[in-house]
Structure 1
Amino acid sequence: MMTMQQSIACPECGTKICFNAAELLHGATFSCDDCGTDIALNTASQDHARETMAAFERAKKTI
């Protein structure tokens, strides 16, 4: 599973929000240090993202 730190631009102010992809997939919320905006995945997106990552991990093993 992906554990590398990632970042995304805050949708409100553009500041970089750092997050852990694995934690995001498991429901964690991350906040912008400048304006306090939170980013998270809704439940349906979490399920879809976990399924996609599992398929990706399986595919990596075949190459």
Structure 2
Amino acid sequence: MCEPCNGKGWLVCDFCKGQKTNIKAENKRIYRRCPSCKAVGYVLCSNCKVFKCVTFPNFEDSQN
């Protein structure tokens, strides 16, 4: 099983921490939408995105 995402295939965005909109960056710039996740709040796990379908996930695959 993938350690960073626990087999879910998604991680909370590091840039906005899941806030999605009105993000204040470290350089004091404010973004209306998160430039990293495009206001989704989550990003694909880079370790396991090639091994499972994350567009149409099968929730029976994970142990949670």
* TM-score, structure 1 normalization: 0.23
Higher helix proportion, which one? 1
